[in-house]
A = this chain, B = another copy of it.
Amino acid sequence: MPQGQPLVVPDDGLTTRQRRNRPLVIVHTGPGKGKSTAAFGIGMRGWNQGWRVGVFQFVKSAKWRVGEQSVLEILDEVHRETGKGGPVEWHKMGSGWSWSRKQGTEDDHAADAAEGWAEIARRLEREEHDLYILDEFTYPLKWGWVDVDEVVETLRNRPGRQHVVITGRDADPRLIEAADLVTEMTKVKHPMDAGQKGQRGIEW
């Protein structure tokens, strides 16, 4: 929580202010809980700063809905009504993305994932958001549905001041290398180990 002081001041020709405002690539990985929750928490912080927040959930079911989606949609309304915070868009892969005309290609998750990334790359090029949350995006990378090198290249060359948060287990080493901030969530103890199923409010 405290701001802290850097241990080393790098010889990168940047002023402290430039360095402080450098856009970040953040990765939450590992087998533990809290990867997505912490990412959506950054979404709240960004909203509070007036950032344009874009969430892209690479999940297979369109029905799945986490509490944060409801909350960030309410915050988007608050923004439109009062000017507080920033605008929020929440897109879910499910069976095709909301911006896509095609429907009912339930079985081609690979194509859906590739299309999702292509749209994100376009938005990065056009600087459409200040914060991108690519939830569970490590999986299409892992399964080869989206090319890791292309993602890393696009992230490295993105213009302006756009932050990108990526969540999911088994983040590719190239993605970790390209990231500025990487946290691994490790499971120490989980109630499912003691025979408890996930519960409302905690898991979603």
Contacts and interface: CB of A to CB of B under 8 A. Distances in A.
Copies of this protein, total = 2
A164 B117 CA distance: 37
Interface of A: 1, 3-10, 12, 16, 19-22, 24, 26-30, 32-34, 36-38, 40-42, 44-49, 51, 59, 64, 66-68, 70-71, 74-75, 78, 84-85, 130-131, 136, 163, 176, 179-204
Contact of A74 (B1, B20, B84, B184): B84
A32 B183 contact: yes
A169 to B, nearest CB: 11
A61 to B, nearest CB: 9
Given A1-B204, A6-B192, A20-B199, 17 more contacts: A1-B36, A1-B64, A4-B197, A5-B192, A6-B194, A19-B195, A19-B196, A33-B183, A37-B45, A38-B41, A41-B41, A44-B71, A45-B202, A46-B201, A47-B67, A176-B188, A184-B185
